[in-house]
Structure 1
Amino acid sequence: MEVVITCVETTGAEVRLHDCMAFDQDITTMSVELRANGVEARRGVELLDHDGLARFFERLAADYLGWDGERTWRSYDEEFAVAARFHSRGRVELRWSLADKVNHAWSANITTWIHAGEDMLGLAGGLRALFDAR
């Protein structure tokens, strides 16, 4: 199972989350890929809070009328993160980051845009299914 987040404004910008597996009771592993403008970054990440990312997006979907400021979610080692900001006309900016924090060898960031409401609800549901299937 996988979840692919595409950008409604930039063709080719996407985030792909897949291979979500329970490593043990506390740790879930997942593969993350960021793609934009011919550049691709990928990394396996460990999540201590096995469904925290799904809950983050469920809260965003519940607030479809908007919110002030920026909301963020990060993996415990901060190698994978997403920041969400609500904009006018029901658009949500999602800034994704992926990095090699151990060796400090690289980092990658892309921005995708999604519509609040049904699109965000669909994304939250896809993430819930991804984590529940692990």
Structure 2
Amino acid sequence: MPHHDHTADDLSVLIRCQEDHDAVVRLHSRYFPDEYGIGFAVDARADGLQAQLQAVEVWVWDDVSLPDFIAQLAAEYRGWSEERTWQTNHLSVNASFHTGGHVALTWNLRRWLTRSDSWQASITTWLEAGEQMTSLAADLREFLPIPTPLR
């Protein structure tokens, strides 16, 4: 019987807006629900806002991983025209390219998807299209490696 680590580790990723240093998104408390997934917590903070999701989970069968989504955006540092979106159960990230080589990443946290007493919070972090996005993709790849099922 394989052993799965359900305890959180200390690795984290901090995304700080270059325009407003008080606007921060932090991915942390990574855990492994089983051999096919990775779970983590998300904190979003800005002036007048503090939101947290305890259990965002990503799986090997998801269409695109968050690290791959960010890496794809970083590779297109000259820009793109339409907004692009990555999403999983309670978290989505909308990306848009702006003049001056900046990317706006809007992090949308949703506590419940179908309940009427749910809440939603969004925070936008502005990053440089080239080096900062490439660095974020590398940090995310370390934090969210593709799970390798045990055989």
> Does the TM-score normalized on the shorter chain lie above 0.5?
yes
- Cα distance in 2 for residues equivalent to 1:46 and 1:110: 20
Hey, which bits of structure 1, 4+ residues long, moved more than 4 A?
A: none
1:41 aligns with 2:51: yes
1:85 aligns with 2:122: no
Deviations 1:14-41 (A, max 9, x none): 1000122221122211111111113211
Structure 1 match to 2:41: 31
Specify the structure having the higher radius of gyration (Cα). 2
1:132 aligns with 2:145: yes
1:11 to 9, 21, 32: 21
Deviations 1:33-54 (A, max 9, x none): 1111132111121112477011
User: Of Structure 1 and Structure 2, which has the larger fraction of its residues in helix?
Assistant: 1
Unaligned runs of 5+ in 2: 1-10
How many residue pairs align between the two structures?
132
Alpha-carbon shift at residue 63 of structure 1 (Å): 0.8
Alpha-carbon shift at residue 133 of structure 1 (Å): 9.3
Q: Which structure has more RCO (C-alpha within 8 Å, separation ≥ 6)? A: 1
SS in structure 2 of the partner of residue 132 of structure 1: coil
SS in structure 2 of the partner of residue 68 of structure 1: coil
1:52 aligns with 2:65: yes
Deviations 1:1-21 (A, max 9, x none): 111000011130010001222
User: Between the two proteins, what is the percent identity of the paired residues?
Assistant: 39
1:63-78 correspondence to structure 2 within 5 Å: 63-75=76-88, 77=89
Amino acid at match of 2:138: G
TM-score by length of 2: 0.80
Alpha-carbon shift at residue 99 of structure 1 (Å): 1.1
Structure 1 match to 2:12: 2
Answer with 20-29 or 9-18: which moved more.
20-29
